[in-house]
Structure 1
Amino acid sequence: MEQDSGNTLKVAQQAFEYFQHGLATSDWEAFLEMLTEDFTFWFPTGKFQGWNVGKEQAREFFEYVSKSFPGGISLNLDRFTYNATTVVFEFQDQGALFGQPYKNRVAVSFDVDGNKICGYREYFGSDGRSSQ
């Protein structure tokens, strides 16, 4: 069955809202509920660098993100692009990374399978430290 790009966008936008809420509040439950059990994700650096598999691994990752940014992260969405199975969100984010000022430009890609997110990839453009 071919996936409908309109449904893909709708599902990914809902997941992105939950993702944004998780970044701001450390409450990841709604986002995690949208993930498939065999969810895969790729992260460019640190403890979770490379490919990771499974919803429980994702839970550990997003809990780690929250510990890294105990005050939360705010973001401003710049744009998104999509096709029948994938939506890419580009945004600017800011907060405090382990107590140090943080600003970055980020792209996250959500792969959609039906009404769930089955894959996530994250890319960012700097080392995360600002010179404020």
Structure 2
Amino acid sequence: MTENSENSLKVARQGFEHFTQGLATGEWQAFLDVLTEDFTFWFPTGKFQGLNVGKERAREFFQYVSASFPGGIILTLDRFTSNETTVVFEFHDEGVLFGLPYKNRVAVSFDVCGNKICGYREYFGSDGKSSLDN
């Protein structure tokens, strides 16, 4: 593993810990602090479908996620893979979405630029209700 790969993995794993805490508690500031100002993210459905740009847009998105899951989301990491600049985390999660039981399989990809996360992409499966279309 190269030095760049090791740094990317370290930054992404720390970011993923903050991401996990945000999902569980609705407290996103620690995760937002590790994002670049020009952070981009891609989400597959709903109000934030497609490419979104900027840290403020990310703040809106993660607040929306927390409002959609008022009791939080608990996730279990299944595996991760990485290269020089990107780390992909695969996990399953569960909670209550808009008052209905929710279970899903998800992959999130973090792009690392230096010591910050500059990009995020999310993909999810079909273990249950899996969209934030409401």
TM-score (norm 1): 0.94
The question of 1:78 aligning with 2:71 is answered: no
Q: Deviations over 1:28-64 (max 9, x none)?
A: 0000000000000000000000000000000000000
Do residues 118 (structure 1) and 121 (structure 2) align?
Answer: no
**2:93 equivalent in structure 1:** 93
Superposition deviation, residue 95 in structure 1: 0.1
1:9 pairs with 2:19: no
Pairwise CA distance, 1:126:
1.8
Q: Write the mapping of 1:11-90 to structure 2, written as runs, cut at 5 A.
A: 11-90=11-90
Preserved contact between residue 34 and residue 116 of structure 1 (Cα < 8 Å): yes
Contact map agreement 2:23 2:72 (CA 8 A) in 1: yes
What is the identity, as a one-letter code, of the residue corresponding to 1:103?
K
Please give the alpha-carbon distance, in whole angstroms, between the structure 2 residues aligned to 1:64 and 1:109.
20
CA shift digits 1:55-76 (9 cap, x unpaired): 0000000000000000000000
Q: Hey, what does 2:105 align to over in structure 1?
A: 105
Give 1:129 shift: 2.2
Equivalence for 2:129: 129
Q: Distance in 1 between matches of 2:31 and 2:127?
A: 26
Question: Is the contact made by 2:39 and 2:55 (CA closer than 8 Å) also made in structure 1?
Answer: yes
Structure 1 gap segments, 5+ residues each: none
Percent identity between matched residues is: 78
Query: TM-score normalized by structure 2?
Result: 0.93
